[in-house]
């Protein structure tokens, strides 16, 4: 192995010529071992050091370049082997007294013999070449006889976490919300016909019932008594809901007395006497038909029907009056 630098050539054979040939032959391997094992090579201002040139796959080599100067020094970008099998694990510069040391940690993961080429170091604009180094990378011997064989283990899956199910939880909540809405509309308590009627304003309901009564044509089919029963029920129901007076369970005389008392004691009713007179006349005529078997003629029946609607209109407060009451309440 030749170690070059500063135009000096060192040859192991030249060292050994000064000794007897037999001693030289015996010492030559020893000298070669020490030179490779410790491999400190000096070139005046530049020297290199490598801790070993033989490693097993994955082991590291400590390769140092030392310069006896601290200024004007340019270390090289390490030139690796041509096959790119040697890798730099770590690189750092250290200083020791008046020296700079560039330290490299090298390794390889492919077995074989590789040459780390000469490196160029510039000191005060002078170039110095380090010697190339041969590195042997050996495989790790495995004794398959002593080493017991084991079955291949199954792949262990990672444990589940909350994040693995997060997206499914949102979908589940959305589906449950949709199902809840559907069940609400399907099984919610539906209002009974009586509840639906109760929500209709008394005036509107009375008008609807009068139209339905006309469409049934009861008196035209000789059902005069039933016609008057329903006609007076429409009027009494309207009075009870609109004026908050017990009209359905009261006789005609009782109802008229109650309405008269309420009309005098309340400033809000102000029912005209003419309307009260028509109401009393209508209820009395209806009582005659229902209880005395009176049979009014067509013209009389039509007049009674018109009086009933007129009474409802008169007892229902106008929109202007309702708005005034709301404003007074505010």
Same domain for 229 and 181? Answer: no
Residue with the larger pLDDT of the pair 229 and 162: 229
Q: How confident is the model at residue 34 (pLDDT cuts 50, 70, 90)?
A: very low
Same domain for 223 and 316? Answer: yes
Same domain for 27 and 123? Answer: yes
Domain count, the chain: 3
Same domain for 61 and 177? Answer: no
Residue 251 maps to a domain: yes
Question: Which residue range is the domain that position 23 belongs to?
Answer: 3-138
Same domain for 123 and 185? Answer: no
pLDDT digits (tens, 9 = 90+) for 302-319: 999 999 999 999 888 754
Candidates 68, 63, 52; CA nearest to 103 is 63
Residue 154 maps to a domain: no
Same domain for 120 and 46? Answer: yes
Residue 42 corresponds to which tokens in the numbers above?
Answer: 């000096």
pLDDT digits (tens, 9 = 90+) for 61-73: 999 989 988 888 8
Same domain for 97 and 180? Answer: no
Give start and end residues of each alpha helix (H) in 2-123: 12-16, 21-38
Residue 128: pLDDT over 50: yes
Residue 71 corresponds to which tokens in the numbers above?
Answer: 């200024």
d(CA 260, CA 255): 9
Q: What is the mean pLDDT of residues 259-288?
A: 86
Residue 115 maps to a domain: yes
d(CA 41, CA 10): 10
pLDDT digits (tens, 9 = 90+) for 92-127: 988 888 888 989 999 999 988 999 899 999 888 888
Same domain for 294 and 273? Answer: yes
Residue 329 maps to a domain: no
Residue 239 maps to a domain: yes
Give the CA distances from residue 263 to residues 131, 276, 279, 286, 301, in Å, rounded to whole numbers and listed in that order. 129, 10, 14, 23, 28
d(CA 77, CA 74): 9
Q: Compute the mean pLDDT over every residue in the chain, rounded to the nearest whole number.
A: 79
């Amino acid at each position: 192995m030749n170690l070059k630098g500063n135009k000096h050539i060192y040859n192991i054979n030249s060292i050994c010529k000064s000794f007897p040939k037999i001693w030289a032959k015996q010492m030559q391997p020893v000298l070669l071992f020490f030179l490779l094992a410790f491999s400190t090579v000096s070139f005046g201002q530049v020297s290199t050091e490598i801790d070993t040139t033989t490693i097993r796959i994955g082991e590291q080599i400590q390769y140092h370049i030392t310069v006896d100067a601290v200024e004007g020094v340019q270390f090289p970008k390490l030139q690796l082997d041509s096959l790119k099998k040697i890798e730099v694990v770590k690189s750092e510069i250290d200083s020791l007294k008046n020296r700079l040391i560039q330290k490299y940690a090298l390794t390889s993961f492919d077995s074989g013999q590789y040459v780390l080429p000469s490196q160029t170091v510039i000191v005060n604009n002078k170039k110095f070449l380090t010697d190339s180094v041969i590195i042997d990378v050996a495989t790790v011997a495995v004794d398959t006889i002593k080493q017991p064989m084991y079955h291949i283990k199954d792949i262990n899956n990672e444990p589940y976490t909350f994040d693995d199910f997060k997206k499914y939880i949102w979908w589940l909540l959305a589906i449950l919300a949709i199902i809840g809405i559907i069940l609400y509309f399907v099984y919610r308590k539906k209002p009974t016909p009586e509840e639906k009627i109760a929500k209709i304003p008394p005036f509107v309901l009375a008008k609807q019932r009068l139209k339905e009564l006309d469409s049934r044509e009861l008196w035209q089919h000789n059902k005069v008594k039933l016609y008057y029963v329903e006609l007076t029920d429409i009027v009494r129901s309207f009075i009870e809901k609109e004026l908050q007076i017990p009209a359905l369970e009261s006789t005609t005389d009782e109802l008229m007395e109650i309405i008269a008392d309420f009309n005098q004691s309340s400033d809000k009713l102000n029912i005209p006497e003419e309307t009260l007179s028509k109401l009393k006349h209508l209820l009395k005529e209806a009582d005659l038909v229902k209880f005395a078997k009176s049979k009014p003629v067509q013209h009389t029946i039509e007049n009674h029907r018109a009086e009933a609607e007129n009474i409802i209109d008169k007892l229902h407060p106008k929109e202007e009056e309702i708005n005034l009451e709301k404003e007074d309440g505010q």
